[in-house]
Structure 1
Amino acid sequence: MNNYSNGMLLNHAGSFLHGKDGAKAGIWMKAEQRVGDSYKQEFYVGHAGDIRDTVATGETVSTKTRTYTDCVKVYDWTPFEKNPREHKYGCPEVGALVLTEDLQTGELSEFVDVVQPYPSNSTSAFRQHLREASVADAKQVLRVAEPGGMTPKDE
């Protein structure tokens, strides 16, 4: 995991290595989602245990920039923290999350656009990169509107 502030790498806090001290990698987003699916995104006793439950499929999601179709709605939570509960929407048109809703505060984080690191004619290579990237790596490539501004590319 890469943690940024003002576009500068601060640290890797929150990271762990699969296999070290019993830590296990999980699934970031299943390719085939079915309502009722539940899977671990990561597992490291006492440190990380994000769980994702599939709530709905075939959703239409509207953000400030556009409307996406055939999206999956998931409920993210962890037993290690009291209130980290979010609904997230992943849409195949961008191969990433387009909207995150904090269920305690109501704050929304919206996908804005893609900063194309590849020639415009290599969309499939870019999508493959996103499929292989970790969430932190994907946030480096994607510009995401966060409460209070853009991160990390526009900080």
Structure 2
Amino acid sequence: MKAQPQPGDRYRQEFLKGEAEDMGEVLSLDDSVTIGLGTFSGCLCIKDWSPLEPEVVEHKFYSRAVGNLILEKKVAGETGRMELREMKFAAAAQ
């Protein structure tokens, strides 16, 4: 992904012909995401897929402040979801 992503940007995540052809696409830069930890605005949403597994599609939501918030994975019509449930902050180095 580019350092300054824009909706519609597409990119390869990895490529080894016939083995690993994962792709990504930026869908949105300003999604609002609500999880158990709260609501996060201005989130990046990307879609991941591979032409080698067309029945598998992932949507990932990222917050600038926190990182990955949600992963939704759809496989052959069934959807699973993982979301961030806990954050721990390390003490600042002295």
Query: Is residue 66 of structure 1 aligned with residue 57 of structure 2?
Result: no
Q: Which residue of 2 aligns with 1:31?
A: 3
The 5 Å alignment of 1:1-155 reads: 29-94=1-66, 96-103=67-74, 104-116=77-89, 119-121=90-92
Take 2:33 and 2:39, find their aligned partners in 1: how far apart are those partners? 6
**Structure 1: gaps of 5 or more residues:** 1-28, 123-155
Aligned residue for 1:32, secondary structure, equals coil
Q: TM-score, normalised by structure 1?
A: 0.52
Identical residues among aligned pairs (%): 27
Take 2:91 and 2:62, find their aligned partners in 1: how far apart are those partners? 23
1:106-136 residue CA offsets vs partner (Å, 9 max, x unmatched): 21110123455xx4226xxxxxxxxxxxxxx
Aligned residue for 1:81, secondary structure, equals coil
What amino acid sits opposite 2:69 in the alignment?
Answer: V
Instruction: Give the RMSD, CA atoms, in angstroms.
Output: 1.8
Take 1:44 and 1:113, find their aligned partners in 2: how far apart are those partners? 35
What amino acid sits opposite 1:50 in the alignment?
Answer: D
1:17-50 residue CA offsets vs partner (Å, 9 max, x unmatched): xxxxxxxxxxxx5432101100111111122111
Pick the structure with more strand per residue.
2
**Deviating runs (4+, > 6 A) in structure 1?**
none
**Structure 2: gaps of 5 or more residues:** none
Q: TM-score, normalised by structure 2?
A: 0.82
